[in-house]
Amino acid sequence: MADGYSLVATMSESVDLSVIIVSWNVKALLERCLRSLLAAPGWTLVAPDDEPVGARTMEIWVVDSASSDGSADMVRETFPAVGLIANTENVGFTRGNNQGLARCRGRAVLLLNPDTEVLGDALTVMADYLDAHPDVGIVGPRILTPDGGVQPSRRRFPTYGTAFVESTCLQRWFPRHRLLARYYMWDAPDDREQDVDWLEGACLMARAEVVRQVGGLDERFFMYSEEMDWCLRAKRAGWRVVYLPQAAIVHYGGKSSEQVVAAKHIHFQRSKVAYFAKHFGALRGEVLRVFLLGTYAWMLAEEGAKWLVGHRRPLRAERIAAYWQVLRSGLR
């Protein structure tokens, strides 16, 4: 099935938690992430082929997207009890997670970015919350930056108008726009437990029943927007999505996607178009695609003018190349 919904029908729930980490060329950060999981108090790691033994059991799957930095070998040699799916090509964040979901056997599943560090008892807090609240399907922690600040991770579902402002040049021109205030939940303190529409996918814990009911991530999204679509499907099925600030992780932030600047822009905006085409109709998706291409044409001209007057030319050249590649892609 193209969207991947049918990939996770046989989760056995024989372990308490399955962790899935999709990784690409972030070996050192991945190792840090794995060590933080193994240091989580009260949890026992179970190898994929072993029978679970212990009061609270966890299995970990690393899905390596054809990294060239030795990530897969590091997992094999340093963490032999961690399951490894070593892809021969970069299949993307969404399909990689679906590969893990197809193998996991947890009562709950944690989708975790490799550039994160799990703090303290965050796993226990999230798992206990799911156990205590049977109507909650997905939870996520407070996400901290390396310097201790809070990385915004709570969102309301975007309106169609939001798509034309968020992460476009209009956001730069109107940074306090009411559509952005609504979308980013600026009216709700980030230090309080609360129901939300969706949470960013750096760290999401979902109960197995939700995954069986709504399926895996939609593979129309190579990366970006997949967690928004997943939470939307869960909420439409009657589940709550809850932000838990009492659990915390550190997110070192987009280290895989930062390695290819143009690809990051293309995947982000292409997924945005796919999301709005899926949920608002093909015509609205096409209008959004054309608008976004127009904004990149504008930004390309803007960067070209700055390059001509000699303003930070290496940066301008990098952006010109990235924006040109976006335009060439057509966001299709």
pTM, whole model, 2 decimals?
A: 0.93
Calpha distance 222→207 (Å, rounded): 23
The mean predicted confidence, pLDDT, of the chain is 94
Class of domain 5-152+190-255: alpha beta
The pLDDT of 9-27, averaged and rounded, is 89
**Greatest extent of the chain over all pairs of C-alpha atoms, in Å:** 67
- Write the CB contacts of 229 (distance below 8 Å, at least 6 apart in sequence): 217, 218, 221, 275, 278, 279
Residue 11: pLDDT band with limits 50, 70, 90: confident
Express each pLDDT in 285-295 by its tens digit.
Answer: 999 999 999 99
Polymer length in residues for the chain: 332
Residue 16: pLDDT band with limits 50, 70, 90: very high
Express each pLDDT in 125-176 by its tens digit.
Answer: 999 999 999 999 999 999 999 999 999 999 999 999 999 999 999 999 999 9
SS3 string, 49-114, reads CCCCCCCCEEEEEEEEECCCCCHHHHHHHHCCCCEEEEECCCCCHHHHHHHHHCCCCEEEEEEECC
Domain parsing of the chain, residue ranges: 5-152+190-255, 159-188, 260-329
Two structure tokens written together for 250: 């550190």
Q: What count of other Cβ atoms lies within 10 Å of the Cβ of residue 147?
A: 6
Express each pLDDT in 81-132 by its tens digit.
Answer: 999 999 999 999 999 999 999 999 999 999 999 999 999 999 999 999 999 9
pLDDT of residue 54: 78
Examine the pLDDT at 305 and tell me if it is beyond 50: yes
Calpha distance 4→47 (Å, rounded): 25
pLDDT of residue 6: 55
- Write the CB contacts of 271 (distance below 8 Å, at least 6 apart in sequence): 220, 221, 222, 223, 224, 225, 226
The DSSP 8-state label assigned to residue 156 in this structure reads P
pLDDT of residue 200: 94
Examine the pLDDT at 212 and tell me if it is beyond 60: yes
The DSSP 8-state label assigned to residue 38 in this structure reads H
Express each pLDDT in 223-279 by its tens digit.
Answer: 899 999 999 999 999 999 999 999 999 999 755 545 568 999 999 999 999 999 999
Calpha distance 161→280 (Å, rounded): 11
Q: Are 176 and 184 in contact (CB under 8 A)?
A: no
Examine the pLDDT at 7 and tell me if it is beyond 70: no
